[in-house]
Amino acid sequence: EQDVTDYRNGLAIRVSGFDVPQPVKTFEDCGFPSQLMNTIVKQGYEKPTPIQCQALPIVLSGRDVIGIAKTGSGKTAAFVLPMIVHIIDQPELDKEEGPIGVICAPTRELAHQIYLEAKKFAKQFGLRVSAVYGGMSKLEQFKELKAGSEIVVATPGRLIDLLKMKALTMLRATYLVLDEADRMFDLGFEPQVRSIVGQIRPDRQTLLFSATMPRKVEKLAREILSDPIRITVGEVGM
């Protein structure tokens, strides 16, 4: 127990919440399937970053997470890797429709970066990733979603448009990520985010990542997450 505390302190990790799983030291500790390990190695990721060390085992255990760590700290892989595991663990994966993993980001640039990262890890498993944000034809996105995708990476406005067009159903979405939640608020997307969350089944796993934690974001997190574990790496801005 003291070892765990020392290890967390050494990485500037603070956690709160009940029954918090221990941080890992290596990607091997996560028990990832070999195809996922291969891609991790191919990416040149030698060991998990501090947020990954603590977030990976928690997210893999199925808990909701509030993850606060500065830009560049490796938050994307902290939610993309467990998402792949979550999806391939689903029984009768190819029998149902609609995405299982839904990731929302505030801008098309951020969404695009996540899309690229998700595709790298999804490929070996034959999982389809759809990009749902501006800058691409809505009709093309409509067709792609109709054909089926296990993972959708979206900006809130475009996702709502496509939901209204019935391009996709959220019936089996069970893994929701709100990335850069603080910027989502700065850009005025709170109503859209709430609308999307309201369309996803309450027994989902929800992850909220942010570089800072202003009061409004804290309030949203309290409302939409269940028994979350809060992870902070380094100093936190408000």
Judged by the rule CB under 5 A, the positions of this chain that interact with Mg ion are 75
Task: For the CB of residue 164, give the shortest distance to ligand ADP in the complex, in Å.
Answer: 29
* Tokens read off for 171: 């019936």
Q: Please choose which of Mg ion, ligand ADP, none residue 149 contacts, taking the beta carbon within 5 to 8 angstroms, the exact cut-off set by kind.
A: none
Residues that bind ligand ADP (CB under 6 A): 45, 48-49, 52, 69, 71-77
- The nearest distance, CB 182 to Mg ion, in angstroms, is 11
Residues linked to residue 16 through DSSP beta bridges, in sequence order: 230
48 binds, among ligand ADP, Mg ion, none (CB under 5 to 8 A by kind): ligand ADP
Name 39's Cβ contacts closer than 8 Å, sequence gap at least 6. Answer: 120, 121, 123, 124
Q: Using CB distances below 5 to 8 A depending on partner kind, what does residue 72 bind out of ligand ADP, Mg ion, none?
A: ligand ADP
Q: Give residues with Cβ within 8 angstroms of 18, minimum separation 6.
A: 227
Task: Identify which of residues 75 and 230 has a Cβ nearer to Mg ion in the complex.
Answer: 75
Q: How far is the CB of 236 from ligand ADP (least distance, A)?
A: 14
Distance of closest approach, residue 19 Cβ to ligand ADP, in angstroms: 25
- Partner that binds at residue 73, options ligand ADP, Mg ion, none, CB closer than 5 to 8 Å by kind: ligand ADP
Count CB atoms within 10 A of the CB of residue 189.
23
228 binds, among ligand ADP, Mg ion, none (CB under 5 to 8 A by kind): none
Residue closer to ligand ADP by CB (options 69, 181) is 69
Burial of 21 (0-12, 13-18, 19+ CB in 10 A): middle
CA-closest candidate to residue 207, choices 218, 221, 217, 193:
221
End-to-end Cα distance, the chain: 30
